[in-house]
Amino acid sequence: MIYRDVTPALREALKDSPVVLLHGARQTGKSTLVQWLAANEYPAHYLTLDDATLLAASSADPTGFLTAWEGPLVIDEVQRVPALFMAIKKEVDSHRAKGRFLLTGSANVLLLPRISESLAGRMEILTLWPLSQGEISGIRDPFIDKLFAGSPIKAKSTNESRSLLFQRMLKGGFPEVLSRISENRRAAWFGSYLTTILQRDIRDMANIEALNLLPRLLSLLAGRATKLLNFSEISRDISIPQTTLKRYMGLLEASFLILTLPAWSANIGTRQMKTPKLLFSDTGVLSHLLGLTSEDLHVRQNLVGPLIENFVAMEIVKQISCSKTRPNLYHFRTQMGKEVDLVLENRAGHIVCIEVKAGATVEGRDFNGLRHFAGKTGRRFRCGIVVYTGKETAPFGTNLFAVPVQSLWES
């Protein structure tokens, strides 16, 4: 089993929380991880609601289903029976015990209020994303914790070729995909995976009309990855009302296919009003939707920039979920066109900025957005980094550096 960086946080949560939920996209390894814990460190009964009998039993009598088992329970794919959350709440309130329930779900309960509110204050939620490059490489050295700690960025080179970096992006982080050498076999897996999500999981979450529009919408969104989310434009292009579009987008986000990156503002109250950026949770899925192959990356240059930016953003998202710092992640853009791809802000208000470049070289002007942001935030600004596809780390001024993409997990 590949070591997952979320494991220490999961162990800690089970020591003091009655209910722990590990959620994330299908096929990220949630079942493998909780079964390993149940067999080795957290003695518990393992039940999966992908089993038709257990699904029927828990749906018919949620409370009776829970009370039939003594001791801790692991319930896999718990979102398939929403009524279980209220039964778990009742059980926890009657017999509060640490680590009583370890749940997994392929739906983001934070975006499903009816479910999340039922266990408010009783449940700790952790996210398992597709494998990070550090997890794939067996490296546990969080880059962002070092940046916020003020650790110096050391000059170093990477030996990995640009084409190998592109292969990382095309494969993404789903464990099953990494074992498939052929691009055709990977494409077959991604096709089946998306069919399962769009025709089964989303149908389970909500009874929506025109389900056949979702594949078209997802392909349309793939062409807008890392761009500002313009609902009116997308609504016009796909010919559906904005209210329907926003509902569909919410379901895609709840399924962990996409996520939105909010805009940073010095005024916290205005952040929710600014336009977010669109990201895909896995660049393998994104590449599949765009029809990208290894050869295409040398021809369809207009897609390389967004693909690399999405890749870097998700590596940062994965590190944040398992970091000590736990900063919030934003993007920044002014009406005058000054922008920063990624803005990380910790609880103390300290800020680290990251700009992503697809090129193998970096120039001074690539730091213009970072310099503007540093001037805007003053002492709160810790450092600014341009991540690029070259091989050398280089300083470009006080607290400004160019670093190879691989430094995110090879630091």
Q: pLDDT tens across 255-280, in order?
A: 999 999 999 988 765 555 589 999 99
Query: Is 1 inside any structural domain?
Result: no
CB 260 within 8 A of CB 277: yes
- 300 lies in the same domain as 160: yes
State residue 252's pLDDT score. Answer: 93
Q: What is the token pair recorded at 385?
A: 């980094």
The answer to whether position 2 is within a domain reads no
Same structural domain, 223 and 273: yes
Q: List the CATH number of the domain containing 44.
A: 3.40.50.300
| Domain closes at, from 127, 161, 189 | 127
Name the residue among 323, 347, 302, 293 with its Cα closest to residue 411: 323
User: 140 and 74, same structural domain?
Assistant: no
Same domain for 94 and 237?
A: no
Taking Cα atoms as reference points, which of 125, 180, 145, 203 lies closest to residue 325?
145
| Tokens matching residue 199 | 């025709």
Residue 174 pLDDT: 97
What pLDDT does residue 230 have? 94
Positions in the chain whose pLDDT score sits under 50: none
**Rounded to an integer, what distance in angstroms lies between the CA atom of residue 187 and that of residue 171?**
10
At which residue do the structure tokens 């765009």 appear?
A: 290
Domain count, the chain: 2
Examine the domain organization and report whether 40 and 157 are in the same domain. no
Which residue is associated with the tokens 């149940």?
Answer: 38
With 0.95 as the threshold, say if the pTM is over it.
no
Establish if 217 belongs to a structural domain: yes
| 107 plus 176 within the same structural domain | no
Q: Among residues 127, 153, 168, which one ends one of the domains?
A: 127
164 with 38, same domain? no
State which residues form the domain around 216.
133-410
Cβ within 8 Å of residue 129, ≥6 positions away:
24, 25, 28, 173, 256, 281, 314, 317, 318, 321
pLDDT for 161 equals 86
Helices 283-290 and 301-321, packing angle to 10 deg: 160
Q: What is the pLDDT of residue 95?
A: 86
Residue 111 has what pLDDT? Answer: 67
Looking at the domain assignment, is residue 25 inside a domain?
A: yes
My answer on whether 214 and 78 are in the same domain is no
pLDDT computed for residue 335 by the predictor: 80
- Please indicate, yes or no, whether residues 148 and 118 belong to a single structural domain of this protein: no
Per-residue pLDDT, 80: 87
58 in a domain, yes or no? yes
Interatomic CA distance for residues 171 and 314, integer angstroms: 14
Distance CA 6, CA 141 (A): 13
Same domain, 208 and 298: yes
Do 254 and 361 lie in a common domain?
yes
In this predicted structure, what is the pLDDT of residue 190? 97
Last residue of a domain, which of 107, 127, 147? 127
Task: For residues 113 and 211, state if they share a domain.
Answer: no
